[in-house]
């Protein structure tokens, strides 16, 4: 099943085009090494949270925008093989030297897809989510997410992906686990919903909030919603 490398970064707002060019320029390298798809999304509707949020996850400054990115591989073996090649590829060293953002605050991890519900086409607008889930609740979370995914596709989503943390390293400055204040028994889930446009996304969420199928049983939630964070992003690279 699809394996995902997920990334969140803080990029100076003035570097949007530099970042887009940098990401687009290196997308062919990732595909050469085995990636199936590379998507970079620029923060558009990224709210502040009470406990956690995207901005806090990467310690974003006032003049920075959060970027939500993912690289898809056919499976974990393909991803691991690609990472091994990257370690000795001089083009990756060049990429690291030319990053138009602070790489020390980049957070990343490897995730196993547990839900992948597709509609039609590819999205140009993405809702990104990061959430801590107790390891013992994996199946309960998958079942809940799978039901919600079908509703989102019914309401116009191009695709819904839920990916379970598999290789999520600790970072020196920031990381996914710190971002959601994960407890020892919890795993980080990285997920997204693709939409044809921002307007379709807005309309769909209005419908979803009124739909009985989307009303959670607060006594049976398989995760702590207070520590989940989300945001809306514009896809600027989709290779």
CA distance 77 to 172: 26
CB 194 within 8 A of CB 200: no
Model confidence pLDDT, tens digit, residues 208-223: 999 999 887 777 899 9
How many independent structural domains does the chain possess? 1
pLDDT band at 1 (very low <50, low <70, confident <90, very high): confident
DSSP character at residue 33? T
Give the pair of three-digit tokens for residue 83. Answer: 């990472």
Q: CATH number, domain at 117?
A: 3.30.70.100
Q: What is the domain range of residue 37? A: 3-238
pLDDT in tens, 40-82: 999 999 999 999 999 999 999 999 999 999 999 999 999 999 9
User: Which residues lie closer than 8 Å to 90 by C-beta, 6 or more apart?
Assistant: none
The answer to whether the beta carbons of residues 236 and 42 sit under 8 Å apart is: yes
pLDDT band at 134 (very low <50, low <70, confident <90, very high): very high
C-alpha span between 137 and 8 (Å, rounded): 25
Whether residue 66 contacts residue 128, with contact meaning beta carbons closer than 8 Å, is answered with no
pLDDT band (50, 70, 90) for residue 95: confident
Instruction: Report the chain's mean pLDDT, rounded to a whole number.
Output: 95
pLDDT exceeding 70 applies to what percent of the chain?
100
Q: What is the rounded CA–CA span in Å between residue 114 and residue 9?
A: 24
Question: Radius of gyration over alpha carbons of the chain, in Å?
Answer: 17
Name the pLDDT band for 121 (thresholds 50, 70, 90).
confident
**Does the reported pTM lie above 0.85?**
yes
pLDDT in tens, 144-197: 999 999 999 999 999 999 999 999 999 999 999 999 999 999 999 999 999 999
Roughly what angle, to the nearest 10 degrees, separates helices 198-210 and 138-154? 120
């Amino acid at each position: 099943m699809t394996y995902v490398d997920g990334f969140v970064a803080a990029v100076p707002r003035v570097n949007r085009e530099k970042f887009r060019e940098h990401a687009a320029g290196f997308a062919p390298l990732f595909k050469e090494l085995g990636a199936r798809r590379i998507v970079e999304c620029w923060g558009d509707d990224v709210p502040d949270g009470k406990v956690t949020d995207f901005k806090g996850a990467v310690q974003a400054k006032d003049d920075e925008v959060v970027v939500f990115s993912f690289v898809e591989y056919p499976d974990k073996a393909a991803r691991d093989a690609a990472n091994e090649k990257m370690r000795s590829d001089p083009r990756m060293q060049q990429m690291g030297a030319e990053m138009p953002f602070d790489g020390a605050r980049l957070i990343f991890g490897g995730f196993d897809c547990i839900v992948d519900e597709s509609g039609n086409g590819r999205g140009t607008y993405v809702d990104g989510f990061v959430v801590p889930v107790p390891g013992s609740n994996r199946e309960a979370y998958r079942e809940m997410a799978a039901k919600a995914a079908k509703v989102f596709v019914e309401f116009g989503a191009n695709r819904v992906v839920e990916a379970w943390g598999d290789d999520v390293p600790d970072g020196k400055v920031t990381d996914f686990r710190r971002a959601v204040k994960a407890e020892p028994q919890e795993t980080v889930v990285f997920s997204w919903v693709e939409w044809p446009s921002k307007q379709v996304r807005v309309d769909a969420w209005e419908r979803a909030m009124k739909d009985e199928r989307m009303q959670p049983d607060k006594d049976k939630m398989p995760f702590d919603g207070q520590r989940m964070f989300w945001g809306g992003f514009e896809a600027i690279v989709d290779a």
